[in-house]
Chain A
Amino acid sequence: MKEKAPVLDKEMISRALARMAHEIIERNRGTEDLVIVGILRRGAYLARRLAECVKKIDNRQIPVGTVDITLYRDDLTMLAAQPVVRKTEINFDIQDKKVILVDDVLYTGRTVRSALSELIDFGRPKCIQLAVLIDRGHRELPIRADYVGKNIPTSQNEIVEVRLDEEDGLDEVAVVER
């Protein structure tokens, strides 16, 4: 494992999130009917931060939920290590809402596919838009992000590590060679 220089630092992450919040409000013409749902674990922290950014701009607290996609994975039977089932918490109705789905890294698209299946089990949202901090390419499904913090071209033998204060004690994004 060889770590390259960080591609995003604390400042850059918070600026990217602030810009994405502006884009979300612009595209949806305000914050009406907006809800944010983060994919556990790091997507959930980013979802909360995005909601904070939106509040700073529009002075409104939009509902934030989390999804754990473990039970919806398409590779459950292929995993060597047993995944821990965490708790999905969406304590609001998503029927007819505009859902902003948030994750840290968009890669194959399979995590997002799982999260979409799970969200739809909660109701029929008006639309689902995808926000990711990093888009690293190599999609295996027809999925794209609506809001991207940064595009990072990578090779398949690299890993993008998003580290967040809430989980890792600091904010940075690094590319690590396998």
Chain B
Amino acid sequence: MSGWAKKDLLGLEYLSREEIELVLETAESFKEVTTREIKKVPALRGKTVVNLFYEPSTRTRVSFEVAAKRLSADVINIAAEASSVRKGETLIDTGRNIEALKADIVVIRHSYSGAPVILARNLNISVVNAGDGWHEHPTQALLDLFTLKEKLGRIAGIKVSIVGDISHSRVARSNIWGLTKLGAFVTVCAPKMLIPPGIERMGVSVTSSIDEALKDADALNVLRMQFERDEAAAFPQAFEYFRQFGITEERLRKAGKNIVVMHPGPINRGIEMESNVADGPNSVILEQVTNGIAVRMAVLFLVSQANEAKA
């Protein structure tokens, strides 16, 4: 098996199929750790992980925090609103200060696409992208892949439909990179104004019909409609969106197959999907949350090991 040599995790675009598979396999071992009575291993003892979040996020931050703690690392959370960023410090200066504190890994969430890439170029410590703008959210896609592999046994050859605001979704982009690299067939489904032009070049099919997206699909990844965004004016009305694209029990039944339903959370119940679907037998939404910890443990472990080997 080939190893992992990257000090950073910036996006699935930059990973090979083998590297993605290594993360998924390593995560399987870490999932076992999370089932133990003592859910903690000493692998990152004495290391410091800094969560640097320029955008509000509870679930991703907490997931990274739990993952780091289960590896015995020390964790420091920095919420950018409350920090010297407000006093005008640049991203690189903030990064260098974190490095000077002798942290080992910085996990960054930023509203600007590419911020983690810039940080990684300027720092020797490991940088993990926890979501940047409309660019990538690699650990979310990795946990989606992990969950799909667990549920369906494989990724190669399966059909996955991604439904929702594709234009503004880093989750969609990371998923498309990961799924296509592992040989899955991807369809994106959204109102036309929320599909970025040229998305077909990423190797996906495009449709604006939810019934078409459901037909033959093995799994659905239902994205969150981000009505809180500034560009919300371009969005359809919530009820109108639900009428045309909402995942309902009836639509699932009509599609016939036992489709796996995923959602990165937080869910807008009654907009992206019915409550009955979110809580129903097809939903793996809470398993995604559990798997997220194992996947993030694997990522933190691998980047930290690679950086050690390099030093």
Report A's interface with B, CB cutoff 8 A.
68, 70-72, 76-77, 79-89, 117-118, 121-123
Contact = CB atoms under 8 A, between A and B. Distances in A.
Contact of A82 (B29, B42, B43, B305): B305
Contacts of B168: none
A82 B36 CA distance: 25
The 3 closest A-B CB pairs, nearest first, are A71-B41, A71-B43, A121-B38
Interface residues of B, number: 24
B37 A82 contact: no
Contacts of A121: 36-38, 40-41
Nearest to A88: B32
Is chain A's binding surface mostly helix, strand, loop or mixed?
loop
Given A82-B4, A85-B26, A88-B29, A71 B36 contact: no
A51 B6 CA distance: 41
B42 A71 contact: yes
Interface string B53-84: 00000000000000000010000000000000
Interface of B: 1, 3-4, 26, 28-30, 32-33, 36-38, 40-43, 71, 298, 301-302, 305-306, 308-309
Contacts of B302: 82
23 contacts: A71-B42, A71-B301, A76-B43, A77-B308, A79-B305, A82-B3, A82-B4, A82-B302, A82-B306, A83-B305, A84-B3, A84-B26, A85-B30, A85-B298, A87-B32, A88-B29, A88-B33, A89-B32, A118-B41, A121-B36, A121-B40, A122-B36, A122-B37
Tell which of A70, A83, A85, A123 has the most Cβ of chain B within 10 Å.
A85
A123 B32 CA distance: 15
B29 A87 contact: yes
Given A71-B33, A122-B37, A85 B309 contact: no
A68 to B, nearest CB: 7
A115 to B, nearest CB: 13
A3 to B, nearest CB: 26
Contacts of A85: 26, 29-30, 298, 301
A122 B43 CA distance: 16
A79 B4 CA distance: 14
